[in-house]
Amino acid sequence: MAQPAMLMAEGLTAAALADLPMADRAYLESELQVRLGRYDHVTRLPNRLQFLEQFENFVHDDAPAMLVLVTLAEAKHYNEILRALGMAFAEDFVRAGAALLGSLLDDDVAVYHVSVLSFAFVLPVDDIAEIPGVTARIAAAFAGAISVNEIPIKTHVGVGLLPIEAIRPAAESLRAALVAAQDSRRTDAGLSFYDHRSDAAHLRAFRILADLPHALSGPNQLSLHYQPRVQLKSGRCHGAEALIRWNHPELGAISPAEFIPLAEQTALIGPLTDWVITTALQQNRELLDAGHDLRISINASPVNLSEDGFDEQLLRRCNAVGLAPRNVELEFTEGTLATNSARTVQQLKRLRSAGIDVALDDFGSGYSNLSYLARIPADVLKIDQSFVRPLKEAGDDDFLLRHIIMIASGLGFRVCAEGIETLHAYEHLRELGCDEGQGYHMARPMPADLLTQWLDAQPAI
Ligand code: C2E
Ligand code: MG
Ligand code: MG
């Protein structure tokens, strides 16, 4: 029942309310509750706010209960429905899902519409380790398609189960049940209990993203290591790749292979690449002052190159620290060309014409296609480690390597092999005509001061 105070906030006095017929009054109250944010406007079901408020009624030590969360589709799938069929139809889809769900549940089960695509309800159970029969029926009913305005629409339903426990607050219970529902999409039965082991990965990802801004603004957590790149014929080191390192005060060392892909999903990749560029240019300047004229490679993420002005900024910053463009190289991966490819290609071309080398990283690891190589705006092609590391002794299969090197050289690229771990690989690649290489056989990535020492110790060539 709505409070008089709420109604009066809508401009109705208590006396005027009392004069309304019962049906009008009930309608008015439900309308007000929708407007006051307690019901979902699409399904008119109680929303997340109400679930959170009423959650404590479900927690009883002596009466075990199960929180069930049903999510109709993945966001990507929902967006496809939105794009293809429009918003009104997408809302019909959600309403049809809610109706089907309601038809499978007893009348006394309250269903809450807790997010655009998710519904939650609580079932009393005898055994919290057992799957309630009705949830298996729900998973089966949603498997395949549901009818929306007589059109069969595929759902990607997830059903998550979480035994209710007093120690887990309402919001945390909902989150855990959602994780279970997402996990359930990977199971045959289409439903899944909450499993804290799979959830640990979600929590870690969240923590990493939450802590990254602090790491970026402080002086101690992030650093760059440099891995020498050598010319295979002469053995001379002419450059190094800057590789970011994160030493987290509590989680310890976090690999860039873990946090870069996470940062790439957020706006944090912008400031992160900024930090890498600033640090790499500064340290390269110091190396030059110490007598080492190197080309430092910087890894760029797809988003960086699709942002307007990235090229000009890099050139300006090079200039500002007194480095020539030939002292810098930019690495990008094939995936980069898939995002806003026109602007990306334009920026890569601009950088190359200004004298900054561009390298295609990890060639062969993605959807590599030899026939499109000719159109790639790059000077260097870095062959992915997966082709190089298996090369351990004479007779090891080099069929693909041999042909990639031949074709790439024929197209005018300098070819660099990544992951050279043995003397055999080094010599064999040199014989195959590979120009440059990087790998543990020559040197592991190291901090800038150790790179200076390492360079000082190299024989003069
Ligand atoms: P990548 O750019 O392909 O870098 C090469 C990776 O191979 C580095 O891993 C390097 O330490 C490792 N490596 C080099 N030689 C060998 C070898 O002989 N054997 C083996 N097993 N590994 C070798 P790392 O430093 O962990 O970086 C992983 C990836 O993270 C990089 O792959 C790159 O994609 C990304 N990354 C690193 N730093 C940055 C950065 O500053 N910005 C961006 N956007 N990405 C970065
Ligand atoms: Mg790289
Ligand atoms: Mg690479």
Residues 322, 401, single domain; the answer is yes
Residue with tokens 């105070």: 5
> What is residue 14's predicted lDDT score, i.e. its pLDDT?
58
CATH number, position 90: 3.30.70.270
Residues 145, 286, single domain; the answer is no
> What is residue 35's predicted lDDT score, i.e. its pLDDT?
62
Q: List the strands of the sheet with 191-193, edge to edge.
A: 112-115, 118-124, 65-71, 158-163, 191-193
Residue 445 CA to ligand 1 center (angstroms) comes to: 9
Residue 300 CA to ligand 3 center (angstroms) comes to: 11
> What is residue 13's predicted lDDT score, i.e. its pLDDT?
57
Residue of 77, 66, 414 lying closest to 229 (CA atoms): 414
> What is residue 151's predicted lDDT score, i.e. its pLDDT?
93
Q: How many domains does the chain have?
A: 3
SS (H, E, C) 388-409: HCCCCCCCCCCHHHHHHHHHHH
Q: What is the pTM of this model?
A: 0.76
Residue 243 CA to ligand 1 center (angstroms) comes to: 6
> What is residue 7's predicted lDDT score, i.e. its pLDDT?
43
**Which pLDDT tens digit goes with each residue over 108-146?**
999 999 999 999 999 999 999 999 999 999 999 998 889
Domain boundary among 155, 179, 194: 194
Residues 328, 188, single domain; the answer is no
Q: Is residue 451 part of a domain?
A: yes
Residues 22, 93, single domain; the answer is no
Residues 109, 223, single domain; the answer is no
Residues 277, 387, single domain; the answer is yes
Ligand 1 proximity of 419 Cβ (cutoff 6 Å): yes
Q: Is residue 202 part of a domain?
A: no
Ligand 1 proximity of 260 Cβ (cutoff 6 Å): yes
Whose CA is closest to atom 4 on ligand 1? 243
Can you give the residue range of the structural domain that contains 242?
A: 219-456
Residue 330 CA to ligand 1 center (angstroms) comes to: 14
Residues 287, 356, single domain; the answer is yes
Residues 241, 291, single domain; the answer is yes
Ligand 1 proximity of 438 Cβ (cutoff 6 Å): yes
Ligand 1 proximity of 192 Cβ (cutoff 6 Å): no
**What residues in the chain have per-residue pLDDT under 50?**
1-11
> What is residue 9's predicted lDDT score, i.e. its pLDDT?
41
Ligand 1 proximity of 361 Cβ (cutoff 6 Å): yes
Q: Is residue 214 part of a domain?
A: no
Whose CA is closest to atom 21 on ligand 1? 419
Domain boundary among 161, 179, 194: 194
| Mutation to probe ligand 1, out of 216, 230, 258, 260 (largest number of atoms < 8 A from CB) | 260
Residues 46, 30, single domain; the answer is no
Domain boundary among 160, 178, 194: 194
Q: Is residue 118 part of a domain?
A: yes
Ligand found nearest the CA of 226: 1
Ligand 1 proximity of 258 Cβ (cutoff 6 Å): no
Residues 362, 389, single domain; the answer is yes
Ligand 1 proximity of 336 Cβ (cutoff 6 Å): no
Ligand 1 proximity of 255 Cβ (cutoff 6 Å): yes
Ligand found nearest the CA of 304: 1
